[in-house]
Structure formats: C-alpha cells, structure tokens
Structure 1
Amino acid sequence: MVAQPQHDPSGPRVCLYDSHDGNEGHRLDYYALFARLLGAKRTGSWFTAALTRRPVLVGALEASMPRYVLLALARAALGRPTAGLLFRPLPVLDPDTPKLRLKRAMLRLLLRVPGVTTFTLLPFALEPRFAEVAKDWIWDPQLWDLHYPEPLAAHTQGGLAARIRAAAGTRRICCAIGRQDVSKGFDQFAQTYVARDDLHGEWLFAFGGGTTPEIAVEQAQFERAGGLAEPVFVDEVGLRDLYACADAVWCSYAPDYDQASGIFGRAVQLGVPVIVRRGTLIERHCLSGGLVHLTHDGNPANLPLGSIGRRQPPDTAAATARSQGAESVRRLMAALGLAP
C-alpha cells in the first residue's frame, strides 16, 4: 500500500520535478497552473524529488525517461506516490528505433508498480493504445486552464487586433498563432494563401509570433501575396488579440507533430473554429467533442474554407473547459494521494 503524503500546511503540497534546464514552449504555463491548483513547487534536483515526503509530479518526463523511471521506482520502494506527464505518447507506441523501444519497455514496467501513475494529456478513448504505456489520463491543461477554476476575465482588445481587423476589412480572418516553423504547419499555411487567389477576397491570413530561418522563403511569398505578418514574439495580450480576431485558427501541423497543442487548446477554450490535419489526435478530439473545425489533408487546393462554421458560444466553450479542468485535477490529486 502506498503511504499517504504528509503535508506541511505552511509549505508546498507537491514537489514538481523537471530535469530539463529550459522553459521553452508552454512549460512555464503548466508549472504556474500546477503551483496554483496543486500547491506544487518546482525542483531540478533528482535527489530532492526522490527523498521528499511530499508526492512528486514529473512535469515533462520525456526530458529524461531514465531519470523518471529511477525516481518512480525509488519512491515506490519508500511507499511514496509519483506521477508523470507523457506529452508525446505516439512515438513510443510505434517505436522505430532501439531508443524508443526501450522507452516503451520502461513505461510498460511502471504500469505494474503501485503508487506510480503515468498520465497522457488526452483521453484513452481518443487512442486506446495509450493504456499500453500509461495508467491514466487528463485533459491537456491548455484545453481548460483559462476557465478553471475561476472564469476568464473579459479581454480588452489591443493594437494588434486593431491592425489585423483594419487590414481585413469585411473579410474573415484565419490566424496562425505563436512561434512559426514547419512543425506547426507554417509552410502549408503560407502556401495555401499564396496558391489560392480565390481566398483573398473573402479571407485574410495573418500570423503573429517568432519565426525560424527554415520558413524564410514561405514567409516572403506569404507577405507578397497579401498575408499579414507579425514575425516577432507576441505577449499574452497579443495572443488574446489573435484569438479575438480569428474566425479560424490554423492547427494543421506537420504529420510528425501529432500531440496535444497549446495553440489548439486555447482556440477550443475560446470557441474559435480550428483547421486540423486529417487523421490526427486533435481531429479525433474535434469529432468526439462536436467542435467547430475543418479537416485539412495537406493539399492547399482541397481546403474548403468557406464551409467552416462560426464560433461556439463563449458560455458553451467555457462550461466544457471547466468540466475538463475539474476532472483533470481530480485524477491528478487521486494519483498523488491528495485530499480534494
């Protein structure tokens, strides 16, 4: 039996372990959320995480799978609960290298260890094979963090929203949001607008976020075709501007980027229609949840943008987010041995 954690009421409830040195992507957003909801405090020390009496949550176990496995086994021997978040389960389900096969074997080993819970960030119903490498699942926090537990404050649109709306005029707006590269499907986003003159009278394509050198040619072509570019870091206000402007958000990512996505999650939370790649996990999520979306097969000629629906009512999207947040926190707390 796994011992219940002993908490200092004046201190953190959960030790959040992350062996990764960086804070790229949505890592800081996740950790701030877990600090707020679970009372988690972050450490990069394996020994601190191994020896603490508090339950341990491993925030990004892919950063070092061996360290996660050794940590979980060491703590299980002491009767202390450990949970880890698996961001990218698909590669270990279809391993094509010895390294990935080893990762799958390690995760399958942990399924048999009491007090250790590996979570995926999407339900097993979307991919039943997740249960081969994880004990449980939560909804990706960026599907619900804006609305749970407190409601989202109203957004006062800023200068970025004003510039995009002025450029669009009466046209609808399709936005690519955040850092742009090939993995996020920017090449397809740009090529679609360049190749489809028929879209220009009805739609403005716009993006906001930093770019990488690999997309320089596509970016230049995109701007020459009349696309609107804000190729700089966009802060939280700017991100909210992009979602507020958008009639559709581009989430048709590269085929090898098939995982939970913060850009997608925020669009869903705000009720904005999304464009997703055919056959992906997020397409399954859209279909199972009845979300407003358009499926893209990667061919610019086959994207019927005119058929995409309108935004979900904000209250509907918010209610779904709050429900998913409550379920996710309940699952995490149960695995960590925390009282509700």
Structure 2
Amino acid sequence: MARVLVVGSDIQGEHALLQRLRTAAALPAEIVRSCRDLDDCDLLVIKDTPALRNAAMRMVRERPRIQFWIEDQHGTLRHGQGDGQAVLDDDAIEQALRQMPGAPAPIEEPIAARAAKAITRALREHLQARQGHAVLALDGLPVLLLDFEQDQMVVPDGSGNAELAQLLSDDFERLALHGIAAKRYQQLAGELPRQPLRPLLWLWGQHPAHWHDLDARLQRHARVRLLRWPDFRVLGHQHDSFRLCSLLLKRACSVDECAALLEISGEAVRTFVHPAYLCGYAALEPAAERARPPLPAGDGGGLLARMWRSVRQRGGG
C-alpha cells in the first residue's frame, strides 16, 4: 500500500496526481490512495515552491521512512532529497510505489540489545559468527533488517546509506536490536532489494558520536588487531586505510604506534578503527606491558654480585 500526502495542490490537482501514479504503477485506487496525516503516509509530494520545499525537508528529516517527491510547474516529478534530484519516469514511479511497505508493524520479538554499547557488542558477535537475523528498530518500528548469514541488509523505507547512517548515529542510544527467525526476516523484507551490509556499517562507524568507551581504551594504549581484510568497497581509494590494514594484520599496535610507524595522525588512525571495530573487522587487545627497569644494585652490588664474591672467596680468589 502507498499512502500519498499531496501538499500545495487543490483537490482536482491532487486527484489528477494520484490517478497518474496509479496508472504509472498499474495499481488500483485502494493500493495508491490519499493520506491526510503526515505520520501515516508513505510518500509526500509537494508543489515546487521554496517555502514548501524547506518545510518538507524539515518534516522528512524528522520522519526518515517517508519518501519525498517534488512536482514542478511542468508536472515533472523528482526526488526531493539527494544531490541529483533525478526525474521520476513511469518506470521509476512504478518501482518506488510497488516497494512501499505501507505502515510497518511494530516489532514484537524480544529486545536482544538496546543503546549504543550493547548494540555494538551484539553486532560484532553476530558479524563474526555469521549467524542469525535481526531488526534494528527505533521506537518499536523497523529501521534496518539484518541478515548476518548472507552479510546483507534490507532498508524498509528505501533510504540511502548516507542518510541512514546519519539517522543510526543520531539515534544510536534510542535504537533496539531484536533477534528474529529467518522466516520472519523474509516476511518483513518481502520483495525489497537486498544490499551489502558492511558499507552501511562502515559509514555508520565513521560518525564520531558514541565512541567514548572505545576511545578511552585506545587512550590507555589498547592495541588494535585486524582480524581480516575489510570489504574493499568500504576502503575505496583511502591510501592510509590500506597501509593500516597491512600493518594491523601483521601485528597489534596502539594508536600511537600506528601513527609513529606510518607517519599519520592519531585522529586518522581512530577514524579507521571506529568503523573497523563496529564491522567486526578489528579487535582490541590489552596494552603491551612495558619493560620493567632493572632493580638498583645497592651497596652490595646485588644478589648476583654477592654470590660471585662468595664463590671467589671460597676458591681463594
């Protein structure tokens, strides 16, 4: 079901737009229908005026699951968010409307982890074990479906990775992770596209908030060890990240050691460690014990010296 809220148009214009959407998607009126409450709609369509555009941007930022389109003076529909604001032809309209899940049902499965620290721990465990399925929910509603076995995800509202990573970072402390069965995962995912999971987690991990505990351990000279090469899609052309991977696969190092050996800043090291840790690519080890300074010899020259003198005296030396 696609529930559409049209803003800035009269009744006749709204009816014409809804009929156009139904025709493009080959869907009946009971599937593509008008909606009056923003919190209940799946799609917001506005007439292209500066005031409406600014108001709509504020509204959808607070409701990230809602899709936002703009109808210009020529009747052309465009995405309301993103740099490209690509034109929506009939094929794009059909694809978007058919993938709209309508109002998601609240997740009833028990909460396995809540808030940043516990969710980070649970994600790392599942990613390393490559077992299970889960839902990340915000206020009881699904934000992200996770398939740890296939290393995939499904985004119920179709948000892009950058937008979703920002949402997850902003609301990390309010998120809840629910473990679900594989059959339930398939039911919730439906026909929505499956996407690689790690690129989103990497983007999420690059946001600076919520890493206070991890940074405190790094500050105490905990050593970082890389467990495996990250997905090359997350590394891109980041030369320093490749160098850090090569180093940390060979030996565990503290942030200071990485910075000194590779001649990069400590901040650059932490910027790599945060997402690598969230993705389960990296683990922390205790700080290396510093070599103890030798005990002072004292007046007698120490135990070894006294033993040597005793041997010489017995031998008449």
Q: Provide TM-score, normalisation by structure 2.
A: 0.24
Q: Provide TM-score, normalisation by structure 1.
A: 0.23
Relative contact order (alpha carbons < 8 A, sep ≥ 6): 1 or 2 greater? Answer: 1
